[in-house]
Structure 1
Amino acid sequence: MSRLQANLLLTFVALIWGSAFVAQNKGMADVGPLLFTGVRFLVGSAVVLPLAVLEWRRLSRQGRPLKRLDGWHIAGLGLLMTLGAVMQQVGIQYTSVTNAGFLTAVYVPLVPVLGWLLLRQVAHWSVWPAAAGCLVGAFLLSGAHQLSIGLGDLWVLGSAVPWAVHVLMVGRWADRMGAPFLVASGQFAVCGLLSLAAAGIMEPLRWTGIAAAAWPIAYTGVLSVGVAFTAQVVAQRYAHAADAAIILSSETLFAAGFGYLLLGERLNTAGLIGCGLMLACILLVQLLPLLGSLTRRRILANPS
């Protein structure tokens, strides 16, 4: 696979994730957020399971079976995914698809910030103004120009924290295990089971509701969870990391586009400014370090 093909595949992933916000919104008409999350992530786990089984057999043949600590790491990733997915799903009940898509993207600049706080990884200077700009953009987008912010906006903003920690840790642990599909299927299963257990306590469990939401569950489970996450793993083997981050952040634009086309959602002037500011910050936090690296290479190549 060429770098161009990998970038096109990542664009397809962002398209699926952006459109999934509409399906998640529609699914809430028939089932609660915990039940919806639980079922769709179990569906996603089943989609990736055949690849996970093949990977398990390969590791066994190579004498590199997963250890107990690896299982705990997968469970931890599943817990983070549960927190992020459930908080996001709850928020989608009370905010627009457009807002949810853009507010979720706060995790992009949040990842290097948490990397510095939790792992002492030194962040590029551009992270700090970009993070501040994303917060300002989020307030404009969610109605803070009217000195108010919706409950749904707060839930979706909160979901960015576990999503960011998840993004920070999943690469480290999956690379250490050498088993991306086992990690993917395992964390989806943990997320699904935890969400269903919580749904059994906090929500009514009705088969009629699941049947009524079958299409949104199938779309988000098979495509958003199973296919898209797996395609991301495959594509990022061949795509430059900066390319991948920038392309995947475009899910926010696709969410706004699908919200416009399918749900008739419209943004006012302040919302458009907020979207533009957030998108600019998301792109700059990825592009500025890359430009600095290219500049240093040119200086080293041409010292005179």
Structure 2
Amino acid sequence: MEQVKGNLMLLLTALIWGSAFVAQSVGMDYVGPFTFNAARNLLATGVLVPVVLAFGGKSQGSLWQRLKPDGVTLKGGLCCGLIMGIASNLQQVGLSMTTAGKAGFVTALYIILVPILGRFLGRTVRKILLLCVPMSLVGFYLLCVKGDFTVSFGDFLVFCCAVFFALHILFVDHFLRKGASGVRVAWIQFAMTCLLSALGALVWERVPAGGLGSALWGARWSLLYTSVLSSGVAYTLQIIGQKYTEPTTATLIMSLESVFAVLSGWLFLGEVMDFREIVGCVLVFVAVLLAQL
């Protein structure tokens, strides 16, 4: 019964994360990608405070004493936040140039990139990846490469985002092995991503004609969905769900995020893929599943 409960929690997590691509896309009707990410991660930092208090392991002392990270956690949060800030902004800018469905599947390539990049850290690469890598490349080709053998700049940015998300997972794993607090690392990295996004907005974006406050208010539902549900609720569900689910099964369930991204894009944004792109999605998804077996 507990395993079923855990699986349902992780399935809901994948649904929230997949549909968040739609919210991210809609939010940029009102504000630029860097401004959206800055506001989203500022809210997410606040939303994660009760998660840290609930799962951070400190039940005594003042609020700051219960939130305060140790040295390893602080270093981990800052390093992971730097990488996450680059990845999430690449994804957000890419989303302004491509569809939510495509972005979901291209981002999912990080699952295959993790063991490949891990090879440079001395980790063993399993033989199944010899099948997964070419399969995912063919899928990416069908999904993103046009008739004139070009890849749109938006798709390219999302692919770069997948590379940085893969690096992010390796860095998180590295610091957790050193004893860092997982929920505090997440909390710090959201704050770090907010800072990087705000700097990007100052450099590359202009204040909207009607004022920043008015624009953010227009994007409020997208911001609330991505910060409260995608960051706060889904992250908590992942923590609880993984307690009852074997790691490989957990990853397989959460990889459905890419499928939910396509379905949400079709349902809410009217995005439609042609046969070639659907075949590309299927190949990427099968490669991602095989990589976990």
Q: Choose the corresponding residue for 1:273, options 271, 275, 279.
A: 279
2:110 equivalent among 107, 110, 135: 107
Alignment of 1:35-184 (within 5 A): 35-53=35-53, 55=56, 57-58=58-59, 66-117=69-120, 119-174=121-176, 176-177=178-179, 179-184=181-186
Equivalenced residues, count? 284
In the superposition, the TM-score normalised over structure 1's length comes to 0.88
Q: How has the CA–CA distance of structure 1 residues 174 and 230 changed in structure 2, closer, same or farther, with 3 Å as cutoff?
A: farther
Letter in 1 for 2:2: S
More deviation in 51-60 or 129-138? 51-60
- Identify if the C-alpha distance between structure 1 residues 135 and 59 changes in structure 2 by more than 3 Å, giving closer, same or farther: farther
Distance 2:226 2:70 in 1: 31
Task: Check if 1:190 corresponds to 2:196.
Answer: no
**1:235 matched to which residue of 2?**
241
The letter of the residue matching 1:96 is T
Partner of 1:34: 34
Counterpart Cα distance in 2 of 1:250 and 1:145: 29
TM-score w.r.t. length of structure 2:
0.91
Aligned to 2:257: 251
| Contact 2:73-2:181 within 8 A present in 1 as well | no
* 1:283-303 superposed Cα distances (whole Å, 9 cap, x missing partner): 11112xxxxxxxxxxxxxxxx
RMSD: 2.1
CA–CA distance in 1 between the matches of 2:170 and 2:236?
Answer: 17
Alignment correspondent of 2:226: 220
Instruction: Summarize the Cα distance change of 1:286–1:115 in structure 2 as closer, same or farther, 3 Å threshold.
Output: same
- Distance in 2 (CA, whole Å) between partners of 1:34 and 1:15 is 24
Instruction: State the 1:145 CA deviation.
Output: 4.7
Q: Which stretches of structure 1, 4 residues or more, deviate above 6 A after TM superposition? A: none
Letter in 2 for 1:286: Q
Aligned AA for 1:94?
A: M
More deviation, 126-135/21-30:
126-135
More helix by share: 1
Superposed displacement of residue 272, structure 1:
1.1
Cα offset, 1:189, TM superposition: 1.0
Structure 1, gaps ≥5 residues long: 288-304
Structure exhibiting the larger radius of gyration computed from Cα positions: 1
User: How far apart are 1:170 and its partner, in Å?
Assistant: 1.4
Q: Distance in 1 between matches of 2:130 and 2:86?
A: 25
| Alignment-derived partner of residue 8 in structure 2 | 8
CA drift of 1:77 comes to 0.6
Which of 261, 276, 298 is residue 267 of structure 2 equivalent to? Answer: 261
Residue 199 (structure 1) aligned with residue 205 (structure 2) = no
Q: How many Å separate the matches in 2 of 1:144 and 1:269? A: 14
Q: How many angstroms does 1:73 deviate by?
A: 1.4
Question: Which residue identity does 1:191 align to in structure 2?
Answer: T
Q: Which residue of 2 aligns with 1:19?
A: 19
CA contact (8 A) 1:10 1:244 kept: yes
Distance 2:89 2:153 in 1: 14
1:102 CA drift (Å): 0.6
SS of corresponding position for 1:239: coil
Deviation at 1:56, TM superposition (A): 6.5
State the 1:204 CA deviation: 2.0
Residues 40 and 224, structure 2, Cα contact 8 Å, conserved in 1: yes
